[in-house]
Structure 1
C-alpha cells in the first residue's frame, strides 16, 4: 500500500510539472512537426521555459551570429543542481588536475549545426520539455546543457525558403520544388562555412563564442545532431573506424553503451538504424571528435531527411518520411543519452579524471621557429583553446623535424615558441601538432592531415624529452615616429598581417611599391616583395605621415626609414624592377557553378581577414556585366564549370584577360578553362593499366581509394623569385584535397611537385593517385596578352585554417601583374 501511495504521489508531481509548463506545441500554437519553427520563435520558447521554471532552467545568450541572431545555451537540471550550478562546474573542472570529487554528469546537446538539417532544433524543444516534466528524474544527478541552434543564420535561411516555397498542404512528391533548395542552401552559416568542421580552427564567430562556454564546462558527453540523405535510416554510435589512437578504451566502450540503449528504444518501435559505418573519429574539428579530444564522449547522430525532406517526402521504397517521424527519432536518442549519462554519472567522472591524469605521449614538446606574425597568429588560436605555451631560450633542440621528415636539430631563441605536451590540454595538443596522424583505416570521412606547424608555415621540431622555456610575452605594439625628411619607409612582406597592412594603405590612398629583385641599403638586406612607401609617391596626400603611422601602429608594423632611393646593391627605387601596387578592383563569381563552401571561403577572406572590398557577380547575369570595369576576377572552386563555361563565355573571358584582366582560377574551375580551347594549361594525361583486374564486389571501395587523396600534406618546390611566391621559402607544404593533376607549363610554374615528390608527408594518398600527381603544378601564372591567369590547383583558403597559404592569394591579387 505504501509503494502504491508513493507511486501515486510521484505521478501526481509529474503531472503537476507538466501542467505548469506548456509543451512546444501548446506554446507555439501548432502541433510540433506540422510547421518549421523560425529561430526567433525557438528563442521565445526557451525564454518562456526560463521564465516559468527559473529554478530548473537557466538561459544564457553566449553570443550573436553575423546576422545578429542570438546564440543560446540552456542549463537544464533539478532545482538543487541549478542552485549549485557554479559549484558543480568548479568541482567538475578540478577533475582535469586530478583534484576534484564531483558526482554529477555533464551532458551537452548541440542541435542544428547545419541549418537545413532542421529537425534537430524542433526536437530540442520537445526533449527539453520532457526533461523538465516526464523525465525529470534523469536530472537529479545530471546537468544538461542544450544549444538549440548552433547555426541560426543557416536555419532561418532554410526555414524562410521552405515556408515561401512549399505547397499548401505540403507536397510529398520528391520532384516538387519544396524538396529542391537552390545554390545558397541553409546548410552553412552566413559566410557559407560548415560550422561542423570549424571546432578546432575557430574561423567563425559562432565557433569562437561557443568555445568560451565549452571550455568552462568540458562536458562528459557531447552529442551533435545531424541529418543525412532521405533514404538513410538513423545513425548513432558507436562510430566507424578510424578512431584516433588517443581515444581511450573507456571512450570507445561508452559509445557502445549509449548505442545499445538507443537500440533498445528503436527496436521497440521497429525503427531502422545503423552503427559503426561512415562517420569516423579522426578529423579533429568535428562536433564529436573535438569534445572527445577534450576528455568527453563525443557522438554524432544522423537522421534521414535533411533539406530535401521538408514536412514530408516519399522515399525510394515508397514510404513517407515526415517531420514528425524525424523529431521522434532525435527526441528519443536525446533522452536516451541523458538517461545513460545519469545511470553512469560516477563512472563518467572517474574516467574523465583518468583522461586528464594519464598521459604518456611520445612527443613531450613542440618547438617552433618562424616569422613573428605567424607565431602570433598561432598563439591567438592556442589562447582560444586554452592551450599553454612558453617562449624559448638560446639552445639547440633535437627531435623529429617537420621540414625534413627526419630526426634533426634546430637552434632556439627567445623568439621561439614551445608548446608542452604535458599540460591539461595535452591530448588536444598531440592531435593538432602531431607530424602524421596514425590511420587504423584508410577509408575516412574527411581530411587526414592538418598538422599546425605546416598549416602556419613554421619550422618545427617534436621532441621526446621536455623542453623548458620562459614566460611568453606577447609582441608589443610597434611605436613608429615617422620623419618628414625620410625619402621612404620600408617594411617586410611575409604574412597575412602584412597583407592587411597593405590593403588598408591602398584604401587610405597611400601609394606603395614593391621590389622584384633583392637589394641592400645601409648594410641591411631586403628580399623580394619588400614594401616601399615613398614620400615622392604620396606628395599629394595631405595626411600622408599621420595616416601611415596610424595604420602601422594598428597592424603592429615596424617601418624602417630610408634617406635615399640609391641602394647599396640591387635596383634603385626608381627602377622598372620596383613596381607600384595597383589599387585593384576585384570581382568574385558566385552561384552555380561554384561551390558554396569555396565561394564562402573567399567571401570570408576578403571581409573578415584581408578587409578589402570586392564585388559579387552571380553566374546568372555574368554575361551582362562589363568585365572591363574590374581588374581581377576570381573563379572559386566548384563542379559545374563545364556546363557554365560555354564557348561564348570562354571567348569573352579570354578577350578580357588579353586586354589586361587578371583571372584567378581555383580548384574545379581550372579544368573548364584549360586544354585546347581554353588557356595554356593542360590536364595531365593519366596512363591507365590496360590489364583488367578481377576483384570482388566487397573490395570495390578499397580499390577506389587507390585513386583518392583525402586531404594529405605534400612538400612542394617553390620558385620564390616569382611575384606569386614573394614572402615564401623555396619549399611549401600544401594541403592537397583531391587528385586533380595538371602538367607543367613552359614557364610560370611557381609551386609544383617535383619528380618523386609525390608521397605525402602526412595523411593518406592512394597508390595510383600518387603516381598521377608526379611532376604536376600546384600554383602557377600564365601570361596571356596584356593580362594573366593565376592557377590555384590546391586551395590555399580551405576552411580558412591553412594560414600559410593565404599570402599566395594576396600575392595573386596585389603582386602579380
Structure 2
C-alpha cells in the first residue's frame, strides 16, 4: 500500500489478521468479519447483502461513500431505480468493483480488503472528492464456496519455506479446484443463465444499483503478465454500443499509468474478448454500464516460478490494488461521460408503449414449468413479460395461457432481450473465448413467433392461475371415487421428480411405450405422448387411499397436472392394462467424478439430479471404480474426460455392470473411452478424424491463429432430428437444438433400432462452426442406446444440459434414468 496518511482509529487488515495481508490465504468468514468491522468503525462504510451461496455463506459488499451520501442511500437507490425508465439522472456516480468470482483467483479478494480499508481510512483530498461524488461498491468474493475450498488447499500446503516449483501441491489443486462453486459451476459463465444462487443474488444487486462502471478482477495463467480491457477489437458483440469501447479505452489510460508507475508489464487488445454476455465484464455492457476485465498472472499459492520470473502473491495483490485505484480515479474523471452513456443507453425507455408494441409470442408446448422458468429468468434480468388472459391464435397455432406468454420488443431492456434470442451465424472474427451463441429459444426448446402485435385485452402483467384446482391448499385428493388410474403427460418437466418420489415410496408407476388417447372424467378425449405415466390406483402393496394420498402429495410437490380416468379402455392406442405400459423401477444413480473427469459437466449432472429432481446421487472418484460394489447402483453417469485413473479392469467391471442390468449414461469423451475398451460396440469419429478435413494449402505462418480458430468449436447450436418413438426421445419434440462444443459424432450405427437422434442435414442453428464440421456432422447419429444383455449403454455426443440452462433437452437424461433398459 502506498505511503499515505490514514486514520489511525481504523483497523487495518494487518492489525485485524495479526499478520501481513497475503501471508496466509483468507477464508470467506474472515472477509465478512473484516467488512463488518469497517462498517462499525466508519460512518463512510455500510454493507449490502447479495444473498447466500449454496453453502450458506453471505455475499457481502462494502458500500463506501461520504457520510452525506450514506445518510441518503435510500434516496440514491430510488434514483437508481428510475434509470431504466429513461429519467434524467441525479445523484452520485456508482462504481462497482467485484473480485474473485473464480475462487482460486485470490489476489483480487485480498486487494479488495486493502482497498476497502484505504477508502474508509484515507483523508486524501482526491478520496474525499471521490466519496462525495460517487458510491463505491466493493465485493471481495463473488464465489464464497470455491474461495474457501481454495484457501484451505493453499494454506494446507504452505511450508515455512516458500516453494516456487509449479509442480508443488500448493500450486496444483486437487479435483475439483476452487474455480467453481458448490456444484463446480463457473459462476463467471452464469450471469445470463442464473442457474445458481450466487448469480441470482449478484444480478439482483447489479440491477438494484445500476452501476455506471464495473471492474471485474481475475487471475490468469502464471506465465502471463497483467491484462486489462479493451480486448480484441474485432471480437466485441455487435449489440454492444461503440461508445462502450471508446470509454473502455479512455479508462485504460489510467490503468496504464498506474501499472507503469509500479513497473508492472501488461497488455491489452489481445487474447480476451467482449463477446459472451454471461460474464462479469460483459454483462454490464448490454445493461447500460461499462464493464472492464482485469487479469493478473496467478501465483496459485504464495509464489510460483513462471517464464516472467517468480510470480509473488503479494505483488499480485499490489497490482490488483493499483488497478482498483486507477478504476475509481478513471471513473471519477469520466463521470459525465459515463452518466451520458447510460442516459443514452436507456433514452428510448421513456416513450415506449410496451402493451401496443410488437414482440415475441413464446410457447413451451404443454410445459408450464419450462415456460415459468423462462419468465423467472427474464424477470430477474428486468425484462417485462405479459401473460395471456385467454388463448391466442396465430398462423393456425393455439397459444394457451397455460404454456405461452408475450414479450414486447420495445422496453428498457430491449438490448438484452435481443441478445438472449440472437441467432447470428456470421462473425467478423471466428475466435471465441467462450461460446459463440446462447440463443435462449434453443436452450428452452421454445416456439417463438416474432413481430406479433396481440390485442391488448389478451395481455396482463399479473401471473395467472391455470390449474383447475388449487394444488397448494387443497388437502383432499380431488379425483372421483370411480377413478381407476391417474395419468401424467410426460411433456411436463417436473414429471421426472414425481416418478422418483413415488417409486422410492413403493408406489407403482408405469410409462407408456406408445402414444395413446383416453377419455378423461369429462368424457373428452385427451392425448398422451409416449413416456406418459400411469399410476394404477389398485396396487399389490398399497391400499387405494394410500396411493391417492401419495400421488396427491407428489402432485402438489411437483406442481403437475394429473388426469384421472374411470376406465382402462382407450379411445385409440393401447388400453391401460396393455403390456406396453411398463413398470418403472426405483433408481440409485452414481456419477464418476475426480481426476480425469470434467468438473463442470459432473457438477451439471449433480445439480440436475440433486437440485432439480431431488435424487440422492453418489459422486465416486474414478480411482475407486475397481474397488467398490457397482451392483448397488442402477445407473452410472460418465462425462467428458480422459478417465486416466481407470484401466482395463475398470472396463471389465463396467461391462459386467451393464450386462447384469445396469445402465451407463455416457457423453462426449466418456464415449471414446468406452469404445476403445470395447465396453461400447459402436465407434466414434474423434477430433483426430476431423482435423484431417482442414486444408492448410496456401496458408502463411501468420495464418496459424485464424486456422486454429476455424478448427475450434467454441460452442455452436446445432439441430438434431429425433426418433420420438425411441425411449430416449419420449416427451421431446421431433427437432431439437443442442449446444455442441466438441468435434465428436458416432460413425454410422451398425445395430438397428439403436439411434435415437441424428444431426440434421442443415446443421447450424446459430453461432460459428466451420463448413468442414457442418458437412461432416450432417446426418450422423448423436444419441444412441445400445442394449447389452440385461442392461444398456446410453450415448450422447453432446452435453444435453449445458450449464444447466439447456432445459429443452435435459429430459433425455430423465428418459435414460427411468425408461432404459426396460423400454428397449
TM-score by length of 1: 0.92
Q: CA deviation at 1:412?
A: 4.2
Q: Which residue does the alignment assign to 1:711? A: 715
Deviations 1:51-100 (A, max 9, x none): 000x2001133322222222101110111111111212222332322223
Q: Which residue does the alignment assign to 1:386? A: 382
Would the aligned equivalents of 2:98 and 2:217 in 1 still touch at CA under 8 Å? yes
Match of 1:366 among 338, 360, 363: 360
SS in 2 for 1:252: helix
Match of 2:322 among 332, 338, 347: 332
816 and 280 in structure 1: CA distance in 2 versus 1, 3 angstrom threshold = same
Q: Which residue does the alignment assign to 2:313? A: 323
Q: CA deviation at 1:476?
A: 4.2
Query: 2:601, 2:663 → 1: CA distance?
Result: 19
Query: 1:692, 1:376 → 2: CA distance?
Result: 49
SS in 1 for 2:460: coil
Would the aligned equivalents of 2:401 and 2:466 in 1 still touch at CA under 8 Å? no
Query: 1:397, 1:438 → 2: CA distance?
Result: 30
Would the aligned equivalents of 2:722 and 2:734 in 1 still touch at CA under 8 Å? yes
Aligned: 1:428 with 2:420: no
Query: 1:627, 1:787 → 2: CA distance?
Result: 13
Q: Which residue does the alignment assign to 1:617? A: 620
Aligned length: 786
Q: Which residue does the alignment assign to 1:734? A: 738
Q: Which residue does the alignment assign to 1:99? A: 87
Q: Equivalent residues in 2 for 1:256-275 (5 A)? A: 256-275=249-268
Q: Which residue does the alignment assign to 2:804? A: 800
Q: Which residue does the alignment assign to 2:243? A: 250
SS in 1 for 2:739: strand
Aligned: 1:150 with 2:142: yes
Aligned: 1:724 with 2:728: yes
111 and 581 in structure 1: CA distance in 2 versus 1, 3 angstrom threshold = same
Would the aligned equivalents of 1:520 and 1:570 in 2 still touch at CA under 8 Å? yes
Q: CA deviation at 1:744?
A: 3.2
Q: Which residue does the alignment assign to 2:489? A: 492
Would the aligned equivalents of 1:743 and 1:775 in 2 still touch at CA under 8 Å? no
Q: CA deviation at 1:281?
A: 1.6
Q: Equivalent residues in 2 for 1:76-155 (5 A)? A: 76-132=64-120, 133=122, 134=124, 135-155=127-147
Aligned: 1:459 with 2:459: no
Would the aligned equivalents of 1:585 and 1:614 in 2 still touch at CA under 8 Å? yes
Q: Equivalent residues in 2 for 1:750-769 (5 A)? A: 750-754=756-760, 756-758=761-763, 760-769=764-773
Unaligned runs of 5+ in 2: 471-476, 520-524
Q: Which residue does the alignment assign to 2:777? A: 773
Query: 2:35, 2:426 → 1: CA distance?
Result: 43
Q: CA deviation at 1:572?
A: 2.3
Unaligned runs of 5+ in 1: 1-10, 399-408
Q: Which residue does the alignment assign to 1:7? A: none
Query: 1:569, 1:175 → 2: CA distance?
Result: 67
Q: Which residue does the alignment assign to 2:548? A: 545
Query: 2:546, 2:107 → 1: CA distance?
Result: 56
Would the aligned equivalents of 2:663 and 2:794 in 1 still touch at CA under 8 Å? yes
Deviations 1:352-376 (A, max 9, x none): 1110124899x95121122333212
Aligned: 1:810 with 2:814: yes
Query: 2:578, 2:454 → 1: CA distance?
Result: 51
Q: Which residue does the alignment assign to 2:608? A: 605
SS in 2 for 1:20: coil
TM-score by length of 2: 0.91
Q: CA deviation at 1:702?
A: 1.1
Would the aligned equivalents of 1:239 and 1:279 in 2 still touch at CA under 8 Å? yes
Deviations 1:393-451 (A, max 9, x none): 665658xxxxxxxxxx8654545311112112111111112233763321011111111
Query: 1:394, 1:808 → 2: CA distance?
Result: 30
Deviations 1:3-59 (A, max 9, x none): xxxxxxxx99x84x5212122112211112222122221112111100000x20011
SS in 2 for 1:761: strand
Query: 1:246, 1:466 → 2: CA distance?
Result: 27
Q: Which residue does the alignment assign to 1:33? A: 22
Match of 2:287 among 262, 272, 294: 294
Query: 2:563, 2:184 → 1: CA distance?
Result: 40
Deviations 1:587-634 (A, max 9, x none): 111102111111111111111111111222211211111111211111
SS in 1 for 2:82: helix
What's the RMSD between the two structures over aligned residues? Answer: 2.3
Q: Equivalent residues in 2 for 1:504-519 (5 A)? A: 504-519=501-516
SS in 2 for 1:442: coil
Q: Which residue does the alignment assign to 2:748? A: 744
Query: 1:429, 1:687 → 2: CA distance?
Result: 37
520 and 98 in structure 1: CA distance in 2 versus 1, 3 angstrom threshold = closer
Q: Equivalent residues in 2 for 1:464-613 (5 A)? A: 470-472=459-461, 473-477=463-467, 478-479=469-470, 481-522=478-519, 523-537=525-539, 540-541=542-543, 543-613=546-616
Would the aligned equivalents of 1:91 and 1:100 in 2 still touch at CA under 8 Å? no
SS in 2 for 1:803: coil
Tell me which moved more, 533-542 or 147-156: 533-542
SS in 2 for 1:199: coil
Would the aligned equivalents of 2:423 and 2:767 in 1 still touch at CA under 8 Å? no
Would the aligned equivalents of 2:513 and 2:531 in 1 still touch at CA under 8 Å? yes
Q: Which residue does the alignment assign to 1:357? A: 347
Q: Which residue does the alignment assign to 2:522? A: none
Match of 1:18 among 3, 7, 29: 7
Would the aligned equivalents of 1:93 and 1:100 in 2 still touch at CA under 8 Å? no
Query: 2:692, 2:547 → 1: CA distance?
Result: 62
Query: 1:521, 1:394 → 2: CA distance?
Result: 24
Q: CA deviation at 1:505?
A: 2.0
Tell me which moved more, 733-742 or 98-107: 98-107
SS in 2 for 1:181: coil
Tell me which moved more, 129-138 or 74-83: 129-138
Q: Which residue does the alignment assign to 2:656? A: 655
SS in 1 for 2:25: coil
SS in 2 for 1:92: helix
Q: Equivalent residues in 2 for 1:44-83 (5 A)? A: 44-53=33-42, 55-83=43-71
722 and 690 in structure 1: CA distance in 2 versus 1, 3 angstrom threshold = closer
Would the aligned equivalents of 2:216 and 2:292 in 1 still touch at CA under 8 Å? yes
Would the aligned equivalents of 2:379 and 2:385 in 1 still touch at CA under 8 Å? no
Deviations 1:718-744 (A, max 9, x none): 000011111012111111112112213
SS in 1 for 2:765: coil
Q: Which residue does the alignment assign to 1:6? A: none
Deviations 1:239-260 (A, max 9, x none): 2232112211221111001111
Query: 1:450, 1:775 → 2: CA distance?
Result: 23
